[in-house]
Amino acid sequence: MVVLYLLSIFLIGCSSGDDRESISKDEGLEKYAGHYKGVFLNNKNEKVGTWDFVVDIQGNITGSAYHQEWDEKKDVSNIINSAGEFTLPIDIGDGFTIQGKIGSLKKVTGTWKKSIDHAGSMRGETTDLPPEGTLILAMTGEIRYSDPNRESASLFFHGGVSGSLIRRNTFHGRYSRNLAKSWELVNSTTWKFTLQKGVKFHNGQTVTSTDVKYSFDRTMGKFDPRFRGFRRATLRRQIAAIEIPDEYTIIFKTKSPDASFLGIPQLLQIVPKAYVEKVGDQEFAKKTIGFEPWKVKEIKVGEYIEIEAFEHYWNIDPHPGEMGRAKIKSIIIRTLPKQATMLAALKAGEIDSIMGVRADMLKELRVLNNITVYQSPSPLQGFMIMNCRSRSDPPNPLLDIRVRLALNYALDWDAIIQNFLTGKEYRTTLIDKDQIGYAPNTQTYPYDPEKAKILLAEAGYANGFTVPYHYVGTEHSPTREVIWDYWLKVGIKVEPQAHTFPVVVRGVYSKSFLGLVPWASGTSRDPGNWLRVMVPYDGEHALHARHKKAEELFNKQSTEFDEKKRAELIKQLNEIVLREVWLIPTLRGVFNWALNTEKWTIDTTKEPLATLPSTWISLKKGDRVLNDSRQ
């Protein structure tokens, strides 16, 4: 499922971030923010050194400088004032100083001086080109645009528009700074986050801890009990209190020790309190405001969403795996329900990029000289939830473990991967590679259709039965009907039930769906937050019977901060899930997308696991234009 492939994932991290404190009291220093490079010249106008520094949104300067008289490159740091002036004392023991000013068009001028007769000038400018061009992106899946705090929100979209406290780093897979520059576990039930100063919402309002607390309280339904917030039940169970001692500090008190708490601030999106209260929930949902590198420009429901570069995005100097300022002026995300239509539009130059490309179309794309295909591991691993809890009349066949086993044994995943997918996918369980608790020797169910038939006969279904299969109707799946055919061969007939995404989510959360639901979990290093919604009897995604041992193991791993001990508990928990057959493990997928690289370029070394929309895509230099008529 295309959009599910792009949901954010739960990843473990450690206290991290940028530890530099702002000492500026001036406002408006963000106008000088940028990356600058230049040279030192002597009084004969000869080059005698180079310099390279970054000014962040608070006016802090960090970087390095080199002069031919020095033995090595020197680090520089200081802060500009409201006039763009700065002084950089160089610690080499002889009073060497650099004074400069950032002027109009972000050009740098200044002087360097060692002594009265030993001085020269400083020259340079910003290396940041203004964002240019309009990239038209197409996808077959439904563009699910909604309030970022609601349960049906698409984190694929809001992850680049709204913004969370911390985010998954696509370079190393752990948690990374975002609105929060650092965080720490104060004690077993207290987490403290320190926010970056000067971060702006798209409407110019400064983001503070008040907005963070408001977003969490809003999601939990504290202002409106009818508000269906994202992971509302989980938040209510976890969070005892939220404190904001100052504008840039927020403290979360949990009801019990929680080793995987960081998964929540990585997912929950922050909204501007003053703006939401002014316009109301319904109006805010029509055009949300965040603080990430893209802001909403225009929405035409069912057709397209246009986002544009946010010129005041805070991350001037992104670390590897982080988003930086957008290099494209705007991106139009269109819905083209048929893959053939999407491919034809790409070939004709009507669009620049397509996402969620089917495996059977990759060969056709790869022969096009102007198109490059990119593949990255899906951030999700798939499985199917089975409702083995609800009783019905006639009885629910899935209550019988033999039936659940038969559904697994009937599927030949190796053949599906080789014949209908890219061949790079692989089978998995609830715990995948690189996750805490992963056991490489964990056994999945082999393909054995004869055993499936025997189990069905023993369960009283020798003549088979019909089972509902609930899925998002607007999302293409290359394997859906293949899976149905495998089941039909052992006597299990599928009753397709196509829904919108919100209906599927509500059906799972309310436990009202009988039968099967294709689903997916995150591949984060810490699977704790996914286990939280999947394993306990009252978990949002749990459709199985109560299991005392599983709940005991879940509770133990939740409060265990020793990673080795916790890994063993999670391993045991995964074994129970497989033994009780609460789900059908499928595979870790591959996400395919294509880009017209005759016109555009992308630096995949900056965000190796990133998909679209990426801040590392830009127009090729020869194609830099300000407007695009294909709209």
Give tens-digit pLDDT for 468-488: 999 988 777 889 999 999 999
Q: Which of 121-135, 155-169, 617-631 has the lowest mean pLDDT?
A: 617-631
Q: How confident is the model at residue 603 (pLDDT cuts 50, 70, 90)?
A: confident
CB atoms within 10 A of CB 351: 21
Is 374 a residue whose pLDDT tops 80? yes
Supply the pLDDT for residue 610.
56
Supply the pLDDT for residue 380.
81
Q: How confident is the model at residue 393 (pLDDT cuts 50, 70, 90)?
A: low
- C-alpha closest to that of 583 among 621, 533, 619, 510: 533
User: CA-to-CA distance for 337 and 360, rounded, in angstroms?
Assistant: 16
Instruction: Please compute the mean of the pLDDT values over residues 178-204 and round it to a whole number.
Output: 96
Supply the pLDDT for residue 118.
81
User: CA-to-CA distance for 273 and 210, rounded, in angstroms?
Assistant: 7
Supply the pLDDT for residue 612.
61
- Spacing of C-alpha 447 from chain mean position: 34
CB atoms within 10 A of CB 25: 8
Q: Which residues contact 176 (CB under 8 A, 6 or more apart)?
A: 13, 16, 17, 166, 167, 168, 169, 319, 321, 322
Supply the pLDDT for residue 144.
65
Is 630 a residue whose pLDDT tops 60? no
Supply the pLDDT for residue 569.
97
Q: How confident is the model at residue 326 (pLDDT cuts 50, 70, 90)?
A: very high
- C-alpha closest to that of 90 among 140, 131, 56, 49: 49
Is 3 a residue whose pLDDT tops 50? no
Q: How far, CA to CA in Å, does 396 sit from each of 477, 489, 581?
A: 26, 21, 15
Q: 9 and 522 in contact (C-beta within 8 Å)?
A: yes
H helix intervals, 537-585: 548-558, 563-580
Supply the pLDDT for residue 121.
96
Q: How far, CA to CA in Å, does 308 sit from each of 134, 294, 312?
A: 9, 5, 12
In degrees, to the nearest 5, what angle opens at C-alpha 168 toward C-alphas 167 and 174?
A: 125
Average pLDDT score over the chain: 87
Supply the pLDDT for residue 367.
92
Tell me 93's DSSP state.
S
User: CA-to-CA distance for 308 and 296, rounded, in angstroms?
Assistant: 6
Q: Which of 41-55, 144-158, 227-241, 484-498 has the lowest mean pLDDT?
A: 144-158
Is 496 a residue whose pLDDT tops 90? yes
Tell me 455's DSSP state.
H
Is 106 a residue whose pLDDT tops 90? yes
Is 69 a residue whose pLDDT tops 70? yes
Residues 222, 226, 228, 232, Cα dihedral to 10°: 40
Is 21 a residue whose pLDDT tops 50? no
Q: How confident is the model at residue 94 (pLDDT cuts 50, 70, 90)?
A: low
Supply the pLDDT for residue 155.
60
Supply the pLDDT for residue 13.
32
Q: Which of 18-27, 208-217, 404-413 has the lowest mean pLDDT?
A: 18-27
Is 20 a residue whose pLDDT tops 50? no
Supply the pLDDT for residue 198.
92
Is 419 a residue whose pLDDT tops 90? yes
Is 234 a residue whose pLDDT tops 50? yes
Supply the pLDDT for residue 19.
36
Q: Which of 141-145, 173-177, 523-527 has the lowest mean pLDDT?
A: 141-145
Is 229 a residue whose pLDDT tops 80? yes
Is 376 a residue whose pLDDT tops 90? no
Is 576 a residue whose pLDDT tops 90? yes
Q: How confident is the model at residue 11 (pLDDT cuts 50, 70, 90)?
A: very low
Instruction: Please compute the mean of the pLDDT values over residues 507-528 and round it to a whole number.
Output: 87
The pLDDT > 90 percentage for the chain reads 58
More confident residue, 155 or 179: 179
Supply the pLDDT for residue 613.
65
Is the torsion defined by CA of 242, 244, 247, 248 positive or negative?
A: negative
Supply the pLDDT for residue 623.
55
Instruction: Please compute the mean of the pLDDT values over residues 433-460 and round it to a whole number.
Output: 93
Is 340 a residue whose pLDDT tops 80? yes
In degrees, to the nearest 5, what angle opens at C-alpha 477 toward C-alphas 472 and 482?
A: 120
Residues 175, 180, 181, 182, Cα dihedral to 10°: -70
- Spacing of C-alpha 319 from chain mean position: 16
Instruction: Please compute the mean of the pLDDT values over residues 239-257 and round it to a whole number.
Output: 97
- C-alpha closest to that of 140 among 354, 361, 379: 354
Supply the pLDDT for residue 331.
94
Q: What is the pTM of this model?
A: 0.82
Q: How confident is the model at residue 611 (pLDDT cuts 50, 70, 90)?
A: low
**Axis-axis angle for helices 413-420, 480-489 (nearest 10):** 140
Q: Which of 76-80, 378-382, 480-484 has the lowest mean pLDDT?
A: 378-382
CA atoms within 13 Å, Cβ hemisphere of 370: 12
Is 461 a residue whose pLDDT tops 90? yes
Supply the pLDDT for residue 604.
77
Is 264 a residue whose pLDDT tops 80? yes
Q: Which of 134-143, 144-153, 208-217 has the lowest mean pLDDT?
A: 144-153
User: CA-to-CA distance for 394 and 532, rounded, in angstroms?
Assistant: 31
Q: How confident is the model at residue 338 (pLDDT cuts 50, 70, 90)?
A: confident
The pLDDT > 70 percentage for the chain reads 90
Residue 561: burial class (beta carbons within 10 Å; 0-12, 13-18, 19+)? exposed
Q: Which of 33-42, 164-173, 381-390, 605-614 has the lowest mean pLDDT?
A: 605-614
Q: How far, CA to CA in Å, does 554 sit from each of 237, 571, 574?
A: 14, 11, 10
- C-alpha closest to that of 61 among 24, 93, 94: 24
CB atoms within 10 A of CB 101: 16
User: CA-to-CA distance for 517 and 538, rounded, in angstroms?
Assistant: 18
In degrees and rounded to multiples of 5, residue 525 shows phi and psi of -60, -35
More confident residue, 170 or 42: 42
For the chain, domains (ranges, CATH) are 33-126 (2.40.128.120), 131-352 (3.40.190.10), 377-590 (3.10.105.10)
Instruction: Please compute the mean of the pLDDT values over residues 198-220 and round it to a whole number.
Output: 96
Q: Most distant CA pair in the chain: distance in Å?
A: 100
Q: Which residues contact 32 (CB under 8 A, 6 or more apart)?
A: 55, 59, 80, 84, 102, 106
For the stretch 267-316, pLDDT in tens is 899 999 999 999 999 999 888 999 999 999 998 877 889 999 999 999 99
Supply the pLDDT for residue 590.
86
